[in-house]
Homo-oligomer: A and B are copies of this chain.
Protein backbone atom coordinates (compact mmCIF):
# COMPACT_ATOMS: atom_id res chain seq x y z
CA UNK A 1 0.00 0.00 0.00
CA UNK A 2 1.40 3.35 -1.07
CA UNK A 3 1.50 6.00 1.63
CA UNK A 4 -0.49 8.77 0.05
CA UNK A 5 -3.34 11.01 1.10
CA UNK A 6 -6.27 12.48 -0.81
CA UNK A 7 -8.12 15.63 0.22
CA UNK A 8 -11.77 16.36 -0.54
CA UNK A 9 -13.21 19.80 0.12
CA UNK A 10 -16.98 20.29 0.03
CA UNK A 11 -18.49 23.74 -0.36
CA UNK A 12 -20.41 25.72 -2.98
CA UNK A 13 -18.49 28.80 -1.78
CA UNK A 14 -15.31 27.24 -3.24
CA UNK A 15 -16.98 26.53 -6.60
CA UNK A 16 -18.22 30.11 -7.03
CA UNK A 17 -14.80 31.48 -6.10
CA UNK A 18 -16.17 33.29 -3.04
CA UNK A 19 -13.20 32.07 -0.98
CA UNK A 20 -9.80 30.59 -1.72
CA UNK A 21 -9.21 27.00 -0.66
CA UNK A 22 -6.82 27.84 2.15
CA UNK A 23 -7.90 24.70 4.04
CA UNK A 24 -6.48 22.49 1.28
CA UNK A 25 -3.21 24.40 1.27
CA UNK A 26 -2.86 24.22 5.05
CA UNK A 27 -3.62 20.48 5.11
CA UNK A 28 -1.30 19.76 2.16
CA UNK A 29 1.55 21.58 3.84
CA UNK A 30 1.04 19.87 7.20
CA UNK A 31 0.68 16.39 5.68
CA UNK A 32 3.78 16.91 3.50
CA UNK A 33 5.80 18.12 6.48
CA UNK A 34 4.65 15.08 8.46
CA UNK A 35 6.18 12.91 5.70
CA UNK A 36 3.21 11.71 3.63
CA UNK A 37 2.42 12.65 0.05
CA UNK A 38 -0.82 14.33 -1.03
CA UNK A 39 -1.78 12.90 -4.41
CA UNK A 40 -5.03 14.61 -5.21
CA UNK A 41 -7.28 17.41 -3.98
CA UNK A 42 -10.88 17.52 -5.16
CA UNK A 43 -13.43 20.26 -4.57
CA UNK A 44 -17.16 19.64 -5.02
CA UNK A 45 -20.36 21.42 -4.00
CA UNK A 46 -22.70 20.70 -1.10
CA UNK A 47 -24.24 17.72 -2.83
CA UNK A 48 -24.57 14.21 -1.37
CA UNK A 49 -24.21 12.52 -4.77
CA UNK A 50 -21.07 14.44 -5.71
CA UNK A 51 -19.44 13.91 -2.32
CA UNK A 52 -20.22 10.17 -2.40
CA UNK A 53 -19.00 9.83 -6.00
CA UNK A 54 -15.65 11.49 -5.27
CA UNK A 55 -15.18 9.40 -2.12
CA UNK A 56 -15.89 6.16 -3.98
CA UNK A 57 -13.42 7.07 -6.74
CA UNK A 58 -10.88 8.02 -4.11
CA UNK A 59 -11.30 4.77 -2.15
CA UNK A 60 -10.63 2.78 -5.32
CA UNK A 61 -7.14 4.31 -5.45
CA UNK A 62 -6.55 3.01 -1.88
CA UNK A 63 -5.00 6.00 -0.15
CA UNK A 64 -3.96 5.65 3.48
CA UNK A 65 -6.10 8.66 4.39
CA UNK A 66 -8.91 10.59 2.80
CA UNK A 67 -9.34 13.90 4.60
CA UNK A 68 -12.44 15.96 3.95
CA UNK A 69 -13.22 19.55 4.95
CA UNK A 70 -16.60 21.23 5.24
CA UNK A 71 -20.19 20.12 5.48
CA UNK A 72 -20.33 18.94 9.13
CA UNK A 73 -22.50 21.73 10.56
CA UNK A 74 -26.19 21.95 11.45
CA UNK A 75 -27.61 23.44 8.23
CA UNK A 76 -29.42 21.55 5.46
CA UNK A 77 -26.48 21.94 3.10
CA UNK A 78 -23.99 20.31 5.48
CA UNK A 79 -24.01 17.00 3.65
CA UNK A 80 -20.60 15.44 4.06
CA UNK A 81 -21.57 12.70 6.52
CA UNK A 82 -24.54 11.76 4.35
CA UNK A 83 -22.10 11.53 1.43
CA UNK A 84 -19.72 9.36 3.45
CA UNK A 85 -22.56 7.04 4.51
CA UNK A 86 -23.64 6.72 0.87
CA UNK A 87 -20.08 6.00 -0.28
CA UNK A 88 -19.57 3.39 2.46
CA UNK A 89 -23.06 2.00 1.90
CA UNK A 90 -24.08 2.36 5.54
CA UNK A 91 -26.63 4.25 7.62
CA UNK A 92 -26.26 7.47 9.61
CA UNK A 93 -26.79 6.65 13.28
CA UNK A 94 -27.03 8.72 16.44
CA UNK A 95 -23.60 8.44 18.09
CA UNK A 96 -23.70 8.80 21.88
CA UNK A 97 -20.12 10.01 22.20
CA UNK A 98 -20.70 12.70 19.56
CA UNK A 99 -23.96 13.71 21.20
CA UNK A 100 -22.18 14.13 24.53
CA UNK A 101 -19.51 16.34 22.92
CA UNK A 102 -22.19 18.53 21.34
CA UNK A 103 -24.22 18.79 24.56
CA UNK A 104 -21.13 19.77 26.52
CA UNK A 105 -20.30 22.44 23.95
CA UNK A 106 -23.79 23.96 24.21
CA UNK A 107 -23.62 23.78 28.02
CA UNK A 108 -20.47 25.86 27.79
CA UNK A 109 -22.24 28.37 25.51
CA UNK A 110 -24.98 28.65 28.15
CA UNK A 111 -22.37 29.17 30.89
CA UNK A 112 -20.79 31.88 28.75
CA UNK A 113 -24.15 33.60 28.27
CA UNK A 114 -24.19 33.01 24.50
CA UNK A 115 -27.31 30.90 24.75
CA UNK A 116 -30.22 30.77 27.20
CA UNK A 117 -30.51 27.01 27.60
CA UNK A 118 -29.35 23.80 25.93
CA UNK A 119 -32.05 22.56 23.60
CA UNK A 120 -31.22 19.68 21.28
CA UNK A 121 -33.17 20.72 18.18
CA UNK A 122 -33.20 18.40 15.15
CA UNK A 123 -30.59 20.63 13.48
CA UNK A 124 -28.27 20.19 16.47
CA UNK A 125 -28.90 16.48 16.72
CA UNK A 126 -27.94 16.20 13.04
CA UNK A 127 -24.30 16.82 14.00
CA UNK A 128 -24.36 13.72 16.22
CA UNK A 129 -25.52 11.41 13.43
CA UNK A 130 -22.42 9.63 12.16
CA UNK A 131 -21.90 6.86 9.62
CA UNK A 132 -22.34 3.55 11.46
CA UNK A 133 -19.09 2.47 13.14
CA UNK A 134 -17.48 5.92 12.85
CA UNK A 135 -15.99 7.78 15.81
CA UNK A 136 -16.22 11.47 16.69
CA UNK A 137 -13.03 13.53 17.00
CA UNK A 138 -13.13 16.19 19.71
CA UNK A 139 -13.53 19.75 18.41
CA UNK A 140 -11.72 22.02 20.91
CA UNK A 141 -12.98 25.19 19.19
CA UNK A 142 -16.51 24.73 17.81
CA UNK A 143 -19.62 22.58 17.94
CA UNK A 144 -19.42 19.95 15.21
CA UNK A 145 -17.02 17.10 16.06
CA UNK A 146 -14.66 15.74 13.42
CA UNK A 147 -15.33 12.16 12.34
CA UNK A 148 -13.10 9.13 11.80
CA UNK A 149 -14.36 6.21 9.68
CA UNK A 150 -12.62 3.26 8.06
CA UNK A 151 -12.92 1.47 4.74
CA UNK A 152 -10.49 -1.37 4.06
CA UNK A 153 -7.06 0.03 4.94
CA UNK A 154 -8.11 3.60 4.30
CA UNK A 155 -9.00 5.96 7.10
CA UNK A 156 -11.56 8.62 6.26
CA UNK A 157 -11.27 11.75 8.35
CA UNK A 158 -13.96 14.40 8.17
CA UNK A 159 -13.10 17.88 9.42
CA UNK A 160 -15.23 21.04 9.62
CA UNK A 161 -14.77 23.84 7.08
CA UNK A 162 -14.16 26.63 9.61
CA UNK A 163 -10.35 26.92 9.47
CA UNK A 164 -9.76 27.27 13.23
CA UNK A 165 -11.86 24.19 13.96
CA UNK A 166 -10.29 22.19 11.11
CA UNK A 167 -6.77 23.02 12.29
CA UNK A 168 -7.49 22.33 15.97
CA UNK A 169 -8.95 18.87 15.29
CA UNK A 170 -6.16 18.05 12.84
CA UNK A 171 -3.42 18.93 15.30
CA UNK A 172 -5.06 17.14 18.22
CA UNK A 173 -6.42 13.97 16.59
CA UNK A 174 -5.18 13.57 13.00
CA UNK A 175 -1.48 14.47 13.09
CA UNK A 176 -0.75 11.57 15.51
CA UNK A 177 -2.43 9.09 13.11
CA UNK A 178 -0.35 10.39 10.20
CA UNK A 179 2.86 10.29 12.22
CA UNK A 180 2.12 6.66 13.06
CA UNK A 181 2.05 5.78 9.34
CA UNK A 182 4.85 8.11 8.21
CA UNK A 183 7.25 6.99 10.93
CA UNK A 184 10.16 9.41 11.14
CA UNK A 185 9.99 10.53 7.50
CA UNK A 186 10.61 14.22 7.14
CA UNK A 187 10.26 16.65 4.27
CA UNK A 188 13.02 19.15 3.62
CA UNK A 189 12.86 22.06 1.17
CA UNK A 190 14.81 25.11 0.08
CA UNK A 191 14.32 27.79 -2.55
CA UNK A 192 16.52 30.12 -4.56
CA UNK A 193 15.65 33.20 -6.52
CA UNK A 194 17.06 33.21 -10.06
CA UNK A 195 17.39 36.22 -12.35
CA UNK A 196 18.74 36.61 -15.86
CA UNK A 197 18.19 33.08 -17.22
CA UNK A 198 14.93 32.26 -19.03
CA UNK A 199 13.03 29.16 -17.89
CA UNK A 200 13.65 27.45 -21.22
CA UNK A 201 17.44 27.71 -20.63
CA UNK A 202 17.07 26.48 -17.07
CA UNK A 203 15.14 23.40 -18.22
CA UNK A 204 18.22 21.33 -19.22
CA UNK A 205 20.08 22.46 -16.04
CA UNK A 206 17.21 21.25 -13.86
CA UNK A 207 17.21 17.93 -15.67
CA UNK A 208 20.93 17.50 -15.12
CA UNK A 209 20.75 18.38 -11.42
CA UNK A 210 17.83 16.03 -10.85
CA UNK A 211 19.71 13.30 -12.68
CA UNK A 212 22.79 13.83 -10.51
CA UNK A 213 20.71 14.15 -7.30
CA UNK A 214 18.12 11.43 -7.60
CA UNK A 215 16.51 12.10 -4.20
CA UNK A 216 15.89 15.77 -4.82
CA UNK A 217 12.94 17.19 -6.73
CA UNK A 218 13.55 20.54 -8.43
CA UNK A 219 10.73 22.70 -9.74
CA UNK A 220 10.88 26.11 -11.41
CA UNK A 221 8.23 28.73 -10.72
CA UNK A 222 8.36 31.60 -13.23
CA UNK A 223 7.59 35.07 -11.94
CA UNK A 224 6.39 37.68 -14.36
CA UNK A 225 8.66 40.68 -14.50
CA UNK A 226 9.03 43.34 -17.11
CA UNK A 227 12.49 43.12 -18.57
CA UNK A 228 14.45 40.39 -16.80
CA UNK A 229 13.80 36.64 -16.60
CA UNK A 230 12.91 35.91 -12.99
CA UNK A 231 12.14 32.54 -11.38
CA UNK A 232 12.04 30.71 -8.12
CA UNK A 233 13.64 27.28 -7.99
CA UNK A 234 12.24 25.01 -5.30
CA UNK A 235 14.22 21.96 -4.17
CA UNK A 236 12.73 19.33 -1.91
CA UNK A 237 13.22 15.83 -0.61
CA UNK A 238 11.64 13.37 1.83
CA UNK A 239 13.87 11.18 3.96
CA UNK A 240 13.88 9.16 7.18
CA UNK A 241 17.12 10.94 8.07
CA UNK A 242 16.73 14.69 8.57
CA UNK A 243 20.46 15.38 8.34
CA UNK A 244 20.76 13.42 5.10
CA UNK A 245 17.75 15.27 3.68
CA UNK A 246 19.46 18.62 4.34
CA UNK A 247 22.70 17.32 2.81
CA UNK A 248 20.93 16.08 -0.34
CA UNK A 249 19.18 19.38 -0.89
CA UNK A 250 22.31 21.38 0.00
CA UNK A 251 24.44 19.50 -2.55
CA UNK A 252 21.86 20.00 -5.30
CA UNK A 253 21.58 23.70 -4.40
CA UNK A 254 25.33 24.22 -4.82
CA UNK A 255 25.41 22.44 -8.17
CA UNK A 256 22.42 24.25 -9.62
CA UNK A 257 23.65 27.66 -8.43
CA UNK A 258 27.02 27.10 -10.12
CA UNK A 259 25.42 25.99 -13.39
CA UNK A 260 23.15 29.04 -13.39
CA UNK A 261 26.04 31.39 -12.72
CA UNK A 262 27.93 29.84 -15.64
CA UNK A 263 24.96 30.88 -17.84
CA UNK A 264 25.33 34.45 -16.55
CA UNK A 265 22.38 34.25 -14.14
CA UNK A 266 22.20 35.54 -10.56
CA UNK A 267 21.01 33.37 -7.67
CA UNK A 268 20.00 34.28 -4.15
CA UNK A 269 18.69 32.06 -1.34
CA UNK A 270 15.05 32.61 -0.34
CA UNK A 271 14.39 32.42 3.38
CA UNK A 272 11.70 30.00 4.51
CA UNK A 273 8.38 31.71 5.00
CA UNK A 274 8.92 34.25 2.19
Q: Inside 8 A of A210's CB, which chain B residues have their CB?
A: 76
Interface of A with B (CB < 8 Å)?
12-22, 24-32, 37-46, 50, 54, 57, 73-77, 109, 112-115, 121, 123-124, 127, 141-143, 162, 164-165, 187, 189, 198-204, 206-207, 210, 217, 219-224, 227-229, 234, 236
So how many copies of this chain end up in the complex? 2
Q: Which of B42, B44, B113, B200 contacts A227 (CB 8 A)?
A: B113
Q: Inside 8 A of A114's CB, which chain B residues have their CB?
A: 198, 227-229
B45 adjacent to A42 (CB under 8 Å): no
Q: Nearest chain-B residue to A32 (Cβ)?
A: B16
Q: Give A107 to B126 CA distance when docked, in angstroms.
A: 63
A219 adjacent to B15 (CB under 8 Å): no
A-B contact pairs, 15 of them (CB 8 A): A15-B28, A15-B37, A15-B39, A15-B41, A17-B24, A20-B21, A40-B54, A41-B43, A46-B219, A73-B200, A75-B202, A113-B227, A121-B201, A121-B204, A143-B200
